[in-house]
Structure 1
Amino acid sequence: MSVLGIGLAAVGRPAYITSGRGGDLPDRSVDALRSRTRALLDLAHRLGVRHLDAARSYGRSEEFLADWLAARPDADDVLVASKWGYSYVGDWALDAPVHEVKDHSLAAFRRQLAESRALLGDRLHLYQLHSLTPDSPALGDTALHHALAGLAAEGVEIGFSSSGPHQGDAIRAALEITVDGQPLFRAVQATWNLLEPSAAPALAEAHRAGLRVVVKEGVANGRLADPAEAPEPLRRTARELGTGCDTVALAAALRQPWADVVLSGAATEAQLTSNAGALDLSLDAGQTAVLARLAEPAEAYWRTRSARRWS
């Protein structure tokens, strides 16, 4: 079974597309989110979570994570991951017209690596190209590939995350990239959940190739956690098991045979505690079959996700 990690997308910036942010985060000032991040990371460490995921585009997530690491010298057993390729441009405003911009160029990599290292220093273990899609210029940029391989030679693991309805194509294309005869990427982070499982075959291939496979958006940005949004078969299964919809959804992700890490995107300590319950939850064959029928066509899922409002 895979292990639980925590991603900081929901608490590193004031606006995001997850459900219920007004109730979860009534105060989204910098100081409030810094404190919230610290509390979540403290709890995560107590729960045994050791994979910590940030990104340049997650507002001040790297800064908050760096502050926590500096205050917790005992947390020398965590894997620190971050991502480059998007920049946060929301200026800490809930109603910003644009919150992040994408740039997969070599120049962006060099600039953002310097920014990540200024905050995380030698604690940066895994650095990932953010949201790779089949049309990304990064797939064919050999100069970028050599620069990434240079970072790998310094001891930083190189990975990528994927998004969109054609994740499988992006993952397979990335698996083909080599530098000096060696595979470039050693980790992949992809969306997989009960509504959007289409990347599973490509992720199984990545796992067989020896990549670290990290699952993100296991509760579909709240659609599989919020009882007001969760499908009735999921709510029914959660009632049968006496637990939350989020716990059931993450339990399904944790038991994928190709998954190494499943990220919690919790914004509150209660959510993280509920998410962690998935580690001890068993789903029988009947429940698993019921949940498998929740899958949506990938194109439809990503249209719905794109329409979600930043708040």
Structure 2
Amino acid sequence: MPFARLATATTPTCHIGLGLAAIGRPGYINLGRDEDLGADRSVEALRSRTHQLLDAAYAQGVRYFDAARSYGRSEEFLAGWLAARPDADDVVVGSKWGYTYTADWTTDAERHEVKDHSLAAYERQRAESAELLGDRLDLYQIHSVTPDSPALTDKELHARLAEAAAQGLTVGFSTSGPAQADAIRAALTVTVDGEPLFRTVQSTYNVLETSAGPALAEAHDAGLTVIVKEGMANGRLAGPQAPEALRSVAHETGLGCDAVALALVLCRPWAGVVLSGAATLGQLASNLHAPAVDLDEDRLARLDALAEDPHVYWERRARLPWH
């Protein structure tokens, strides 16, 4: 598996990856985007921003980069950076299929993405990803699997994914929603010719949303690499809007709320890679301080007490506007 490259890394940031959801398209649900991105969200402006962030992340030891077909032009931006950086042959590249970007580079589209977990969608998007990333694509994930997703029961799709795996592509899935744990456990039972199909799982886990934790531990024990997304809860855990207990711990450690929030995830023994969703160089630099955060038992207990009911968390997330 490509993640074996990360397992042997010794840099403090080897377990942090950079996700491109917030910078591959002009509109997203993260808080603070007006301040982070400003008014110029042209293709070239976001391409330049993406390349700057990739350069900075790579220079500071980050070796996993995460894109998706629905993240606007994220694959295109990442492919261009890889072509210009032949020295970066040690990075692990992940992307996702299952959502189609439909906002046409606007922030006020009626629908920004459309979900489709069919075999036809996989074949179309696999070809699109291959055209951009070629053999640099290491990991291909089903985007946002839920317990009722047809991707969990479509045997023909499973066979095609197994074919891709036999050719060297790592196959994984991501999850979203209040039933993440159920989706993870269902995916762990999917086999082809008696062998588990999925080798990675990417789920939302953060100070406020911890419900997937036990299932992610089970996935880790089953041999899957666990990737954690939305460790900042789409910006809810950064700055003055962060919960008071989180701000208190950050003050005690002398580091940012974002670094503390990511540190909480990093300390989970099942967490293989934790994604930074930074949109600015300053945010990235602050995120990458996470390994230096000292979380003793008292601080961990105070942070653990902030967990919300998953239905409450996901209902609030669903109300966040695209902007």
After TM superposition, is the score higher than 0.5? yes
Deviation at 1:243, TM superposition (A): 1.2
Specify the SS of the correspondent of 1:159.
Answer: strand
1:217-236 superposed matches below 5 A: 217-227=230-240, 229-236=241-248
Match of 1:248 among 257, 260, 266: 260
1:104 matches 2:117: yes
In 2, distance between residues paired with 1:277 and 1:112? 35
Matched, 1:143 2:156: yes
SS at match of 2:289: helix
Partner AA of 2:88 in structure 1: A
2:210 pairs with one of 197, 207, 212: 197
Name the CA distance, whole Å, in 2 between partners of 1:282 and 1:64. Answer: 35
Give the alignment partner of residue 4 of structure 1, picking from 8, 11, 16. Answer: 16
In the alignment, what sits opposite 1:121? 134
CA distance in 1, matches of 2:317, 2:239: 15
2:72 and 2:172 map into 1 onto residues whose CA distance is 20
The match for 1:187 is: 200
Provide the alpha-carbon RMSD of the alignment.
0.8
Report matched runs for 1:163-174 at 5 Å: 163-174=176-187
Alpha-carbon distance between aligned partners in 1 of 2:183 and 2:158, rounded to the nearest angstrom: 15
CA distance in structure 1 between the partners assigned to 2:68 and 2:225 by the alignment: 18
- For residues 239 and 293 of structure 2, what CA distance do their matches in structure 1 show? 19
1:89 matched to 2:102: yes
Offset of 1:126 from its aligned partner?
0.2
Equivalent position amino acid for 2:256 in 1: G
- Report the alpha carbon displacement of residue 242 of structure 1 after superposing the two structures with TM: 1.1
Taking the aligned partners of 2:267 and 2:122, their CA distance within structure 1 comes to: 34
1:275 corresponds in structure 2 to 287
Q: Is contact 1:43-1:269 (8 Å) kept?
A: yes
> For the Cα contact (< 8 Å) 1:50–1:77, is it kept in 2?
yes
**Could you tell me how far apart the structure 1 residues matched to 2:122 and 2:194 are?**
22
Count of residue pairs brought into register by the alignment: 310
How far off is 1:226 after superposition?
2.9
Deviation at 1:75, TM superposition (A): 0.3
Distance in 2 (alpha carbons) for counterparts of 1:280 and 1:50: 18
State how far apart, in whole Å, the 1-side matches of 2:148 and 2:191 are.
18
Aligned pairs for 1:34-113 (under 5 A) are 34-113=47-126
Q: Is 1:32 the equivalent of 2:45? A: yes
Give the residue type in structure 2 aligned to 1:237: V
CA contact (8 A) 1:248 1:278 kept: yes
How far off its partner does 1:39 sit? 0.2
Amino acid of the structure 1 residue aligned with 2:275: L
Structure 1 counterpart SS, 2:138 = strand
Q: Secondary structure at the match of 1:96?
A: coil
When normalised by structure 2's length, the TM-score is 0.95
Alpha-carbon distance between aligned partners in 1 of 2:58 and 2:20, rounded to the nearest angstrom? 14
Q: Which moved more, 1:281-290 or 1:53-62?
A: 281-290
Once the two structures are TM-superposed, the CA of residue 222 in structure 1 deviates from its matched residue by: 0.2
Q: Distance in 2 between matches of 1:217 and 1:256?
A: 15
2:153 & 2:17 partners in 1: Cα distance? 31
Once the two structures are superposed, residues 250-305 of structure 1 have per-residue CA deviations (whole angstroms, 9 ceiling, x without a partner) of 00011111000000000000000000000111111100000000000000000000
Structure 2 unmatched ranges of 5 or more:
1-11
Q: Note the alpha carbon deviations across 1:92-146, whole angstroms, 9 max, x for none.
A: 0111111000000000000000000000000000000000000111111000000
The amino acid that maps onto 1:236 is S
The aligned counterpart of 2:7 is: none
1: CA distance, partners of 2:238 / 2:156: 42
Verify: 1:265 aligned to 2:277, yes or no: yes
Kept in 2, the 8 Å contact 1:19–1:226? The answer is: no
User: What percentage of aligned pairs have identical amino acids?
Assistant: 65
Letter in 2 for 1:214: I
Question: Does the Cα contact within 8 Å between 1:194 and 1:291 map onto a contact in 2?
Answer: yes
- Displacement, 1:240? 1.0
Residues in 2 aligned to 1:23 and 1:154: alpha-carbon distance in whole angstroms? 44
Determine the C-alpha separation between the residues in 1 that align with 2:136 and 2:256. Answer: 34
5+ residue gaps, structure 1, are none
Amino acid in structure 2 at the alignment position of 1:302: W
